[in-house]
Amino acid sequence: SRVAIAHPEGFPLAVANIYCDLADAIRGEMRDGLPTAPAGLRSMAAVHTAVASAKAGGQWLDARPPMFR
């Protein structure tokens, strides 16, 4: 890394890396480790479940999207 962890100058570099990965994917030069649609769905389901759990007083809930249960 060119900048220390949590240093404010690191944010633009991190965003630049995301754009480089996106450009590679558009050109068909996919790299391993890029997020997939199912990974995004699982992340969104986890956030939704965290909110639902908080509204239910901290009750444990299944965070998996219904299609993955």
Q: Domain ranges for the chain, please list them.
A: 1-34, 35-69
What 3-state class would DSSP assign to 63? coil
pLDDT band at 51 (very low <50, low <70, confident <90, very high): very high
- Using CA atoms, how far apart are residues 69 and 57, in angstroms rounded to an integer? 23
Q: What is the pTM of this model?
A: 0.59
- Using CA atoms, how far apart are residues 19 and 1, in angstroms rounded to an integer? 17
Q: What is the pLDDT of residues 4-42, one digit of tens each?
A: 777 777 788 888 888 888 899 889 887 777 788 999 999
Q: Token pair for residue 31?
A: 């790299």
Backbone angles phi, psi at 17, to 5 degrees: -65, -40
